[in-house]
A and B are shown apart, each in its own frame.
Chain A
Amino acid sequence: MAQKTYMQALNDALREEMERDPNVLIIGEDVGQFGGCFGVTKGLFDQFGEKRVRDTPITESAIVGAATGAAAAGLRPVCELMFVDFIGVSMDQLFNQAAKMRYMFGGKTTIPMVLRAPQGAGIGAAAQHSQSLESWFMHIPGLKVAMPATPEDAYGLLLTAIRDDNPVVFLEHKVLYGVEGEVPDNAGAIPFGQAKICREGTDVTIVALSKMVYSALEAAETLAAKGINAEVIDPRTVSPLDMDTIIESVKKTHSLVVAHEAVKTGGAGAEIAAQVAEEIIDYLDTPIMRVGAPFTPVPFSPPLEEAFIPGAEDIVAAVEQIRS
């Protein structure tokens, strides 16, 4: 059992897959000698050389498109967007090309590529470097979307992402890079579409994504002090989305709160809430509540950014509201 940071876990997963499979290579802006803007690819250039850890120009369409083409030609590229916000300039290559090629071609090709991108607010990076965009990606058939919260999940999900034969959008929360956690020595690939019950409870189900898992666990402690026993579930991948685990939990707790850092409107929480309502509305004793960011761009100034980012207190408030 080793203590590792989220970033080290990602770095380990990349290194191990590159050692295991010569078809795996990394492309992206400043991923080489520089080690990646946040440092995720540190040391890989020295170990694998420029051929396998390749700096690109600032050319997001070509980065995503080249990864797509290389994957269609049999490689397993891992491309990095420095910030997920930059997907805007390369979206066509992801959602019209990579995501759809297999289907459009009648199943006659695979696109085994990973697009890694940090998302999330909290470092004063403002509106174009802080968004959480998982709902954009989960809306597109053909893409898989992973968003690990812990070092162990970061490691295990990235192994799976690289080995998957489909295009995977791998969303890392930039505030989590320095978070430490236990990664067992025998840790391995974690299958997609398997939610993790982070805390068992009986009174309310809190489904939380990415960094909000920590807020949900904190909220659960606060609620416990108030006599409310919350169950916290991290879906870990929003596409595929493990609704079975969520539904089983809600059948038990009869109450649901969904929390994510993305803007609440049209977010992943809306999808989860809707599916629960469609499937098991009779089990619900309370209304469903969503906790998410307000419908504004991510602001810059610390008090504004703090006001934007949802936290444990918002989850507590939501639970108390539906139970009142």
Chain B
Amino acid sequence: MTISKKKMIEMYTTMYRIRQFESKLQEFFAASKIPGFVHLYLGEEAVAAGACAALNKEDYITSTHRGHGHLIAKGGDLKLMMAEIFGKSTGYCKGKGGSMHIADVDLGILGANGIVGGGGPIATGAGMAIQYRGEDRVAVCFFGDGASNQGTTQEALNLASAWELPVVFVNENNGYGISCPISKSMAITDIADRAAGYDMPGVIVDGNDVTAVYEAITAAVARARKGEGPSLVECKTYRWRGHFEGDACTYREKDEVDEWIKKDPIPRCAQKMLDEGILTEKELDALHAKIDTELQEAITFAEESPLPEPADLFEDVYA
């Protein structure tokens, strides 16, 4: 499989965009500029970027409570995302959803999800619709190691496999369900092992290597498009921050975090592009500057946008 220069730059751009977006949110949360709470995707950028780079606009994804990365990677608009997280009426969900419920059905994003394991059956349903209409689309279900223990996930894996639906289950194994390490939450360590029980391919890739994720998801997507059914791709990764901002992270050692920060997928990809002459230092700087400007515009948009009116409460309960 060849990864074009264009694709490498696209994936890097996505990762950097997520990194900057999440870093800003970290600041804003600390400064009490955003309501509610946020689950940051810092450190896991290669999974969303690599996976979504293998998708087309009309493909579906279901996301998680840690969903900003998936949404950005699937093409989510930073302005609308930022405004939503600020609780503004101009946001993706008019301030009704917030961080955990951003969706853009036009981009195939069937929503971030506040329920761990909530997305599996929905992605399976999207897969069912694709198969029913004979469309050339796939549905990707992002889910975490914690979600892999939920019955909904197991039911979704089973149904997708029994019906050979075009669904790709992308597991982000970051080692912890909030504070609980996988050693305490499951008798196995590799979620990919569970694929065998559903007669689907289960593979493990380095979730901090965007090229590895891209290759695996591309292969899984190709399989799904050919009507060969679902796959499970486990991406081993790590979240740099706590489960949510404000989590003191007393359950893991600093050394462990430091080790993973050394495996940062972003400089790894940048170095590769510089080595291969895909981009020069100057071009990389320009790319960064462009994203930073874009992000600043999103922040300004969010800050200057109006808050919803109390009467808006009653809109959109029913169609």
A and B touch in the complex (CB under 8 A): yes
Residues of A within 8 A of B (CB): 25, 27, 51, 56-57, 59, 61-62, 64-75, 77, 89, 92-93, 96-97, 101-110, 112, 141-142, 144, 164-166
- Among residues 265 to 319 in chain B, which have CB atoms less than 8 Å away from a CB atom of chain A? 315-319
B73 within 8 A of A: no
- Min CB distance A297 to B, Å, is 24
B162 CB contacts on chain A under 8 angstroms: 57
Interface contact B121-A71, CB-CB below 8 Å: no
Known: A62-B155, A101-B111, A106-B91. A68 touches B125 (CB 8 A): yes
A141 and B315 CA atoms in complex are apart in Å by 12
Task: Mark contacts of B71-114 with chain A using CB atoms, 8 A cut-off: 1 yes-contact digit, 0 otherwise.
Answer: 00000000000000000000111111100010111100011011
B212 CB contacts on chain A under 8 angstroms: none
Closest 7 A/B residue pairs (Cβ): A65-B121, A69-B125, A107-B316, A106-B93, A73-B129, A66-B125, A69-B122
- Min CB distance A87 to B, Å, is 14
Interface contact A105-B93, CB-CB below 8 Å: yes
A105 and B129 CA atoms in complex are apart in Å by 20
Interface contact A61-B121, CB-CB below 8 Å: yes
B156 CB contacts on chain A under 8 angstroms: 62, 65
17 contacts between A and B (CB under 8 A): A57-B159, A59-B155, A62-B121, A62-B158, A69-B126, A70-B129, A72-B105, A72-B125, A72-B126, A75-B132, A104-B97, A104-B101, A106-B94, A107-B319, A109-B103, A112-B319, A166-B319
A108 CB contacts on chain B under 8 angstroms: 92-93, 103-106
- The residue that B152 contacts in the complex, of A92, A109, A164, with Cβ under 8 A, is A92
B202 CB contacts on chain A under 8 angstroms: none
B35 within 8 A of A: no
Residues of B within 8 A of A (CB): 60, 62, 91-97, 101, 103-106, 110-111, 113-115, 118, 120-130, 132-133, 139, 151-152, 155-156, 158-159, 162, 315-319
A25 and B110 CA atoms in complex are apart in Å by 21
A105 and B133 CA atoms in complex are apart in Å by 25
Interface contact A102-B316, CB-CB below 8 Å: yes
B103 CB contacts on chain A under 8 angstroms: 101, 104-105, 108-109
Interface contact B132-A141, CB-CB below 8 Å: no
- B95 — nearest CB in chain A belongs to which residue? A106
- A98 — nearest CB in chain B belongs to which residue? B122
A101 and B126 CA atoms in complex are apart in Å by 14
Given contacts A69-B129, A101-B111, 15 further A-B contacts (CB under 8 A): A59-B155, A62-B120, A62-B124, A65-B120, A65-B121, A65-B122, A66-B125, A68-B125, A69-B122, A69-B126, A70-B125, A72-B126, A73-B60, A93-B118, A93-B121
A262 and B126 CA atoms in complex are apart in Å by 35
- B62 — nearest CB in chain A belongs to which residue? A69
- B124 — nearest CB in chain A belongs to which residue? A66
A93 and B124 CA atoms in complex are apart in Å by 12
Known: A61-B151, A73-B129, A96-B115. A106 touches B96 (CB 8 A): yes
B125 CB contacts on chain A under 8 angstroms: 65-73, 77
- B137 — nearest CB in chain A belongs to which residue? A73
Tell which of A74, A92, A97, A112 has the most Cβ of chain B within 10 Å. Answer: A97
Known: A73-B129, A97-B115, A106-B94. A68 touches B315 (CB 8 A): no
A25 CB contacts on chain B under 8 angstroms: 132
- B101 — nearest CB in chain A belongs to which residue? A104
Known: A69-B124, A70-B125, A106-B316. A92 touches B111 (CB 8 A): no
A77 CB contacts on chain B under 8 angstroms: 125
- Min CB distance B15 to A, Å, is 26
Interface contact B152-A61, CB-CB below 8 Å: yes
A107 CB contacts on chain B under 8 angstroms: 94, 96, 315-316, 319
B104 CB contacts on chain A under 8 angstroms: 108
Interface contact B317-A141, CB-CB below 8 Å: yes
A102 CB contacts on chain B under 8 angstroms: 316-319
A71 and B121 CA atoms in complex are apart in Å by 12
Interface contact A72-B97, CB-CB below 8 Å: no
B122 CB contacts on chain A under 8 angstroms: 65-66, 68-69, 72, 93, 97
A70 and B123 CA atoms in complex are apart in Å by 8
B92 CB contacts on chain A under 8 angstroms: 105-106, 108
- The residue that A65 contacts in the complex, of B95, B114, B152, B158, with Cβ under 8 A, is B152
- The residue that B118 contacts in the complex, of A71, A74, A92, with Cβ under 8 A, is A92
- B127 — nearest CB in chain A belongs to which residue? A69
